[in-house]
Structure 1
Amino acid sequence: MDERRQFSRVLFANKAQVQCKEKVWQTTLLDISLNGALIELPQQFSPSNQQLHLSFSIADSDIQLHMDTQLVYQKDNLLGLACSHIDVESLSHLRRLIELNVGDPTLLDRELGLFIDLHNQGK
């Protein structure tokens, strides 16, 4: 199998919500990376476009993460979301979460550099 993944994924079963304009759906976040997330297909999911806002809290804290995403994958009961924008505070918390789970700071630094390069190309 051709493995094209450039970002480490962290398994992270957690309650989350996705929003498209005024519609909000409750879901479960299954894994997260600097460049996106995998979530369960919410009940009665019917977005008006492919842009979704993902938000979730880190358990046992008041930390909220927010990510603007693009729906890039839908199969069975799963949705794959690619990050299109993340605020600095959310990125900082996400980086720390991944760092604690990956255990390789040099790998995470490389991925963070790649993430910044990819997101600066569109500007």
Structure 2
Amino acid sequence: MSDHDERRRFQRIAFDATAELRQGSQKWQVKLLDISLKGILVSRPERWEPDATQDFEATVHLSPEVQLEMLVELRHEETSKLGFVCLYIDLDSMSHLHRLVELNLADRTEMMRELRELIE
């Protein structure tokens, strides 16, 4: 287990969905690899040339009717993956994300711990 994994306080949920990253006039279609209460991991798109000083808007398409909208910051880049931390999420999106994580965590105690971590 890497130091990065040991420091992780939020359970990642593998979830197959499409997503879109936007920064200014640039837009990239990506595949969501996993999601947590604190951020997202997506596939690295072709022609990836962002402005490293600016945040991104992310839209995750959970279903045709349900999307999560987040303001995110790029935290790490790999050859094929990009990791983002959530800076802001609206109430509707947070409700959908909470429900998704809750359904994928078998332990309600773990869910409550993650919510406390998020608030602190």
TM-score between the two structures when normalised by the length of structure 2: 0.90
CA distance in 2, matches of 1:8, 1:44: 30
CA distance in 1, matches of 2:7, 2:68: 26
Asked whether 1:12 is paired with 2:18, we answer: no
CA distance in 1, matches of 2:60, 2:46: 17
* Cα displacement (A) at 1:63: 0.8
* Cα displacement (A) at 1:10: 0.2
Task: Report the secondary structure of 1:93's partner residue.
Answer: helix
* Cα displacement (A) at 1:50: 4.2
Task: Among all aligned residue pairs of Structure 1 and Structure 2, give the percentage whose two residues are the same amino acid.
Answer: 40
The equivalent residue for 2:37 is: 34
The equivalent residue for 1:55 is: 59
Asked whether 1:45 is paired with 2:48, we answer: yes
Q: After the TM superposition, list the runs of 4 or more consecutive aligned residues in structure 1 that deviate by more than 3 angstroms.
A: none
Aligned residues: 116
Task: Report the secondary structure of 1:43's partner residue.
Answer: coil
CA distance in 1, matches of 2:19, 2:101: 17
CA distance in 1, matches of 2:30, 2:54: 17
Task: Report the secondary structure of 1:110's partner residue.
Answer: helix
1:45 maps to a residue whose letter is W
2:83 maps to a residue whose letter is G
Structure 1 residues 90-120: Cα deviation after superposition (integer angstroms, max 9, x where no partner): 1110010011111212211111121122xxx
Structure 1 residues 27-85: Cα deviation after superposition (integer angstroms, max 9, x where no partner): 000000000010001111111234111111213x4011011111010011110101111
TM-score between the two structures when normalised by the length of structure 1: 0.88
The equivalent residue for 1:121 is: none
CA RMSD of aligned residues (A): 1.2
CA distance in 1, matches of 2:106, 2:70: 23
Unaligned runs of 5+ in 1: 118-123
The equivalent residue for 1:84 is: 87
